[in-house]
Amino acid sequence: MAESAASLGQFDFAGDDHVVPFQVEGLDVRGRAVQLGPLLDAILARHSYPAPVARLLAEAVVLTVLLGTSLKFEGKFTVQTKSDGPVDLLVADFSTPENVRAYARFDDEALAQAVAAGKTEPEQLLGKGVLAFTIDQGRFSQPYQGIVALDGASLEEIAGTYFRQSEQIPTRVRLGAAELFDRDEAGKPRHRWRAGGLVAQFLPEAPERMRQPDFHGGDGDTSLREHVEDDAWAEARTLVETIDADELTDPQVGTERLLYRLFHERGVRVYEPKAVFDRCTCSRDKLKGVLRGFSAEEIEASQDNGEIAVTCEFCSTTYRFEVSEVTEV
């Protein structure tokens, strides 16, 4: 079913946890924007992450949602970092058409030392490593994976490097996360997390207009070859870069209002929003299948009084199995 355009006069019709596709015909730009509220709050509260970790994972979730909702087939899209910093693992995956889950792993002592030293920037918390984007269409196809080094100052910069190197599509990504302290309907103090983001891509009909500056050719050549950026993309990129971090997360701004502020002079259109949900894909049957692949020695090491307990790292659900359940032929 084709997406139907909506008037930008209908401010705030999407709301939280809905991805809004958009198009700016005058600039040959297409993209997606989102604000995450209750979905993100549930994911982060499940593990009581320290604020620096929660902020990083929130941005990873936004990035995953923005890119995962663009898939036109059944499958899973995963964003994952592996690194040597205090936060050595971030993983968020999107299972089509609407399910999101995420998890972060960190070293308590190393994180405490980093915070005490004021080293809480993304590159300081992540350290050296890689960011991987994986698309898996199921068991009848080979997963596709793109990898980029963690050498940017933020996840949005690293994601931009990936698109430049691997997709060769002019792309600008904006990500933001924020803690909100307010009061609920009963007047009690409340702490919430919000995050938002936008991805804009330059997709003109003429492919030559998408050409970007070449990387240097090595052998001491550190100069870029002569290149003139397309005027339409230069304008779109500049507009996207004017977004304040607060605008990405402010519930009073809203996704459509932000898009209108950015692009109304160029005739921006928004399309039907796509809801996303905090839903894990774990199940008792899946885990039983994994355990049945264990050796007798691994089963013995995992059991306690004839029972094996497995807790999902994503949703914290604990499944309990009798040893006989996973050893029967």
Q: Give tens-digit pLDDT for 83-113.
A: 999 999 999 999 999 999 999 999 999 999 9
Task: Check residue 226 and give its pLDDT.
Answer: 54
Structural domain 284-327, CATH architecture: Alpha-Beta Complex (3.90)
Task: Check residue 154 and give its pLDDT.
Answer: 86
pLDDT in tens, 149-194: 998 778 999 998 888 887 788 999 999 999 988 777 888 888 889 9
The DSSP letter of residue 224 is P
Q: Does 329 score more than 80 pLDDT?
A: no
Single out the residue of 36, 67, 54 nearest to residue 132, CA to CA.
Answer: 67
| Global pTM value | 0.87
Task: Check residue 214 and give its pLDDT.
Answer: 55
Single out the residue of 204, 272, 281 nearest to residue 2, CA to CA.
Answer: 272
Task: State in words which class domain 18-205+230-275 has.
Answer: alpha beta
Q: Which amino acid is at 137?
A: Q
Task: Check residue 12 and give its pLDDT.
Answer: 47
Domain locations along the chain: 18-205+230-275, 284-327
Other beta carbons less than 10 A from residue 89's beta carbon: 15
pLDDT in tens, 40-74: 999 999 999 999 999 999 999 999 999 999 988 88
Q: Which amino acid is at 99?
A: N
CA angle at residue 117 from 113 to 121, to 5 degrees? 95
Structure tokens at 38: 């209750």
Average pLDDT, the chain: 87
Alpha helices in the chain (DSSP H): 38-45, 51-68, 108-116, 122-126, 155-162, 231-240, 245-249, 255-263, 284-291, 296-302, 323-327
Single out the residue of 17, 34, 60 nearest to residue 248, CA to CA.
Answer: 34
Give the rounded percent of residues in the chain with a pLDDT score beyond 70. 89
Side-chain-side CA neighbours of residue 230 (13 Å)? 23
Q: Judge whether 18-205+230-275 and 284-327 match in fold.
A: no
